[in-house]
A and B are shown apart, each in its own frame.
Chain A
Amino acid sequence: MSETQSTQTGHASAIRVEGLNKWFGSFQVLFDINLTVENGERVVICGPSGSGKSTLIRCINALEDHQQGVIEVEGKALGHDSTSVYDVRTEVGMVFQHFNLFPHLTILENCILAPTVVRKTPRKEAEATAMHFLEKVKIPEQANKYPIQLSGGQQQRVAIARSLCMRPRVMLFDEPTSALDPEMIKEVLDTMVALAGEGMTMVCVTHEMGFARKVANRVVFMDAGAIVEVNSPDAFFTNPQNERTQAFLNQVLQH
């Protein structure tokens, strides 16, 4: 699973982050981050707020730039030039806390915009792909509605489908259920579990410990901008190594 030398054996890791340091102005927010995610692996990143979880995954598709270190997606290095940024972004899908659907476009139009504009996919073909993924997230009947007409959970499932329409190799989730009503969390998590079952490489920042236990291959715990502990879910929840992890788990698992 953690075959770090995979580059030599012919296939690259899905994500390789090495010696990543990042500053906002003079304030350092990420400290020497090393993380490799293999194809098909599901990694959950958790930790207290302000620990740099979101910033880390936002660096992976260059929504944030980084000052030091190496980020590679499918063997493509993320440089500071726009070409490498676009190359990496087309391989990486992202789902946001606040869905960020395009409000002026219908659900179907949301899903076909990037494929038709970026990949130059013919409209008919893009629509067929979009309907395929809308069916996957169990929402095809909403295709001609506008985002505002959907519930939060539905909007988030559309956001997942919209990302999948670009056929990404890796999916990043930035607290995908944090803005949802408790009742809607399940439908989004179910969608994510199904996606995991199909072998999608996933990196999820989430506080859903049940989800972490169920689908993660590894759990990464971050605190104060650094990775404190990386462990299998079982070991992470039953026998956390780090003091800070123990304190965090005591807080979040209490109820």
Chain B
Amino acid sequence: MSSFPPFSSRIVYLPHSDIDTDQIIPARYLKVTDKQGLGEGLFADLRRKPDGSPDPDFPLNKPENSGASVLLTGENFGCGSSREHAPWALKTAGFRAIISASFADIFRNNALKNSLLPVVVDAETHARLVNLLALHPEAEVAVDLASQTVRLPDGFEVRFPLDGFSKRSLLDGVDELGYILSFAKEIENFERRHESPPGEVAA
């Protein structure tokens, strides 16, 4: 059984580019020492009005989007801070894939380590998805990691890029730390020939 089986889902569309991790989860939600309760912080300032009440116009608050596990968004998603709380919060809220024209490097790494799939599509596919949602907000997209495809209800299918290592890791549920520790011997050998650590000289 794959750790990342194919699935279909409605899509939440956040139209802006350069959505930074401070918007995904503001810093005041980072005072936790575990991964619990982070869903509360997800887009906390965007989904509420200044008086604290939910903003009905924010896409995540719309009833038709409840239960959606695919987020469609503008380019350079997840820029800024390295906080892994961003993918943790997205996962907690039920998201399994994010479709964008591009992702910030650290966010992409963090997402992959949490089985949150960054799906990079070209501008044309992005526009097609946006148009689809404008006409059919309830449309579902089918995401299949094994074939690296997303399929639209009209049959349009596009392949997305993902390196083989990340793909295998997601599909097989590879424990990355276990993989790294399997090289204990190599790490030891490396350390034998490498510079010693910085030591405090002046006591």
* A and B are partners in one complex rather than unrelated chains: no
B interface residues (Cβ-Cβ under 8 A, vs A): none
User: Could you tell me which A residues sit within 8 Å of B by CB distance?
Assistant: none
